[in-house]
Amino acid sequence: MKIYIKNMVCIRCKMLVKQQLKKLSIAHRAVKLGEVEIKGDITNGQLADLKMALQKFGLDILDDRKSVLIEKIKKVIVELIHYKEEPAKINFSDHLSQMLNHDYTYMANLFSEVEGINVEHYLIIHKVERIKELLMYDKLSLTDISYKMQYSSVAHLCNQFKKITGLTPTHFKKMQIQAS
């Protein structure tokens, strides 16, 4: 049995979910971003207890198909941007369609309707967050970062970065260095 969990997008979230499962004595096979595979069945009482425990940490169990699909879209984006070392060799819409076995237009429309922003903007926001990390923790040049994040040029990366943050990547990095 699989349980889908909203807002479960990082390694700390996975650890927290594992901790709550253990605390509630719920046996599980796997805990992945956005989902838990339970061994066997789970009682309604256990499910309610798990839901309450997770809500304390800003996580929620999803029970309708559209919400599950939205969380799967977010999971694919987070994994693609934050956890893959090699850039995907196909464009994002094709990648998302292949990963989730749905028509991209349907998923994009559903995402916009439910989340209030389009899927491309959500992707750009995550790219900018990853760029911030790379600027601060890696020794990569902007050219290397633009290649790694699949931008057509450094100028394109800088334009999107400034649209989201209001700063150029160079100014952002200088501010972070001064703050530390």
Q: Give me the domains of the chain, ranges plus CATH numbers.
A: 2-63 (3.30.70.100), 67-179 (1.10.10.60)
Structure tokens that stand for 112 in this block: 């916009």
At 70, the amino acid letter reads I
pLDDT, residue 93, reads: 92
The backbone torsions φ and ψ at residue 168, rounded to the nearest 5 degrees and listed phi first, read -80, 155
pTM of the entire structure? 0.75
Give how far Cα 156 sits from Cα of 3, 94, 132, Å.
39, 22, 15
* Residue/partner pairs of 124-130 with CB below 8 Å, 24 or more apart: 124/160, 124/164, 125/164, 126/77, 126/78, 126/81, 126/82, 127/81, 127/160, 128/160, 128/161, 128/164, 128/165, 129/81, 129/82, 130/81, 130/82
Structure tokens that stand for 77 in this block: 């984006």
- 43-58 pLDDT tens trace: 889 999 999 999 999 9
* Residues 169, 72, 124: CA angle, nearest 5 degrees: 20
* Number of residues assigned to the chain: 180
pLDDT, residue 87, reads: 63
The ranges of the chain with pLDDT < 50 are none
